[in-house]
Amino acid sequence: MKPILTLVCLALMLATPTLAQENLTADTEFFKQKSQDYQRWMDQNGLGRYLKVQDLRVEPELVRLYLGFQSHHIDSIVGIWHQMKAAHESNPGLTFEESLLSRMANLMGLGEEEAVIEIYDTYDKYQEPLFFRGIYFDKNRIQVVENNPKGEKNRYISVNPSDIKTNKKSEKIALTKKYTKEYVFDQIMQFARQKYGKSPCDERKPAIHPKLHEDHLRFEVSDLCREVVKEAENPTICRWLRSLGYNCDWTTRELLSFTFVYLPTTDGFTLHLVLDGRVGSGYYKTVKRAGYMDMDLDFKEELEEYADQISLEIKKFLTR
């Protein structure tokens, strides 16, 4: 593994959690599998043309994902990075680096404080890396440490916004009202408590888990059912059980992760919603990390439709 650059070593050490928690190394094989899914996600969204998963390292309290470039020319690498970032951020919302880390955390079932992404131009042990990005969560926001080659003549590669696919799970809510960010975020939490306060499934107790973030509103809702995935039962077995007076508890458990970005405009404000979801077995009371799978794998259309639906519901709630 390529050693961390001296100038960023201290900063990335700050990303290591200090509170006692579970030992992540117990799920090493799961994280390795999910690193392959991360590559699939990059391929599906056009990033795989330029970036690739290089390696993964699991520590007791931290998972480090190492990304590399398809190109080996440093000038091209610098240009590709700037163009990818510009293409992604041509639509306001999460920054490019925030999207990369948030996607890793959601896909692997990690808190953002447990995830770090390191990106180098080379992993050749005989070469000193010239380009570096370190992405991690600290002080309630996603931080970026960078190192760029000096004195290089950059070759900018044309990367159009159409090359980087806009994930439809990212929805925009535009309103012409002068509400502050604090007020809007408080209203969204009220909406969430009302919407997810009860479950249509027996023995399910949905819970909202706020995630600290200095700039955005982030929270997860766990132990959901029939929100995104409407038909996830074995119909034959369920009919038989219900005919005998038993509940059918095979309905999948859902976990949804919401991120809201508030952007003021001259007329009011715009909200950008980024929605991620995972599903796990409904048979067990508690679904462990490895028991969840990303909704993008099997329920992508349903998740996109739900993002549209929830955006309309939130807009209606804010303008009631």
Q: Which residues, in sequence order, are CB contacts of 251 under 8 Å at separation 6+? A: 201, 225, 226, 232, 233, 282
Q: What are phi and psi of 198, to 5 degrees?
A: -130, 155
Domain ranges of the chain: 6-147, 170-318
Q: Is 203 exposed, middle or buried (0-12, 13-18, 19+ CB in 10 A)?
A: exposed
pLDDT tens for each residue of 197-244: 988 887 788 999 999 888 899 999 999 988 998 765 555 545 655 665
Tokens 């992604």 found at: 88
Look at the alpha carbons of 156, 159, 160, 164 in this order and tell me if their dihedral is positive or negative: negative
pLDDT of amino acid 77: 93
Q: Is 207 exposed, middle or buried (0-12, 13-18, 19+ CB in 10 A)?
A: exposed
CA nearest to 146, candidates 128, 137, 133: 133
Question: Model-level pTM?
Answer: 0.79
pLDDT tens for each residue of 109-140: 999 999 999 999 999 988 899 999 999 999 99
Q: What are phi and psi of 95, to 5 degrees?
A: -70, 165
